[in-house]
Amino acid sequence: MKKIIIRTDASTQIGSGHVMRCLTIAKNLKKQGYQVIFWMEPLQGNLISYVKAQGFEHILGAENADLYIVDHYDIDQEWERIHRKYTKKIMVIDDLANRNHDCDLLLDQNVVPEFKKRYETLIPQYCKTLLGPKYLILRDEFLEARQLIDRRNGNVEHILIFMGGTDPTHETMKVLNALPEISHNFKHIDVVVGKGNLQKNKIERICKERGYHYHCQINYIASLIQQADFSIGAGGSTTWERCYLGLPSSSTIVAENQYEATKYAAELGAVLNLGWHNQVTIETYKDLLNTLNAKQQQLSKISEMGLSLTNNEVPNPWIDEIMELLS
């Protein structure tokens, strides 16, 4: 059995997105008969116990393997070259294109200007690239939900709030503070947080008091996206998940790596970009919520653009590319 080690981390500062998308990759590769092991550091807000509960072994240092998959913004070609002695092949998952890599396969699922060219000077000539939304890392629940979605007409009765697994800039609380005078406009409000959200207990209490639906560290977000009419979210990979299921949404930029993709997605008409978190206030969210039903036509167009940008004939084609790398 061929062995794969995934080097990634989650924390209150890093967030949970790297680990969550790596879990999707790990589960797909495990189905194909590979042994998949996670190498993660025990940082504050880590997801080590969660990954173990999903059936994967955890290590704290380098081991020999047939493939290393690296999803970490603090790792570059220096680390990768040092660890070549432990592995035959290295795959990198990146969003930033801001450092050199020594890898055999690179995946970046984001849409940004010139996204097909931006790694040309950062990787070896022999490295194969998988770039753009064709290579979205999607859990099975998303693939199934895509087959069942109805076209949205822009009418908003059901709101989904999900600001990422850790929400380090406390956007969820801003939205909750904006809602009391407006929530009567909506029939159903879902609020999703991750295990690493430091305010999750307070958020849960507020949701119970107001009759909102609270969800923590769930594996059914695709179902909530499918049922919602509009989502208030953060930038990053969850933007493309919402697009994949045609859910119109707003994105607040909560990290540097989200800026370029969020800005470009808004220019393409696939999301409403609210801007940087430090400029987004309770009043910003209140104004957004108050005007949603006046944006019916615009929201319908956002839904269609999201579906169009993420359309792919073969879901998760990166699986075959990884298997070819290991052959």
Question: Which residue numbers are catalytic?
Answer: 18
**Per DSSP, which regions of 19-157 are E strands?**
35-39, 57-59, 65-71, 87-93, 105-108, 128-131
**CB neighbourhood size of 76 (10 A):** 18
Which residue is associated with the tokens 């380090």?
A: 168
> Cα–Cα distance between 324 and 327 in angstroms, integer?
5
E strands, 113-260, are 128-131, 158-162, 188-193, 213-216, 230-234, 249-253
**Is 241 assigned a ligand-binding role in the annotation?**
yes
Is 139 annotated for ligand binding?
Answer: yes
Provide the residue count of the chain.
327
- Token duo for residue 226: 């499918």
Contacts of 1 (CB under 8 A, 6+ apart): 33, 34, 35
d(CA 81, CA 201): 43
CA angle 183, 187, 190 (to 5 degrees): 75
Decide: 64 and 87 in contact? Cβ < 8 Å. yes
* Residues making up the binding site for substrate: 139, 241
* Residues making up the binding site: 139, 241
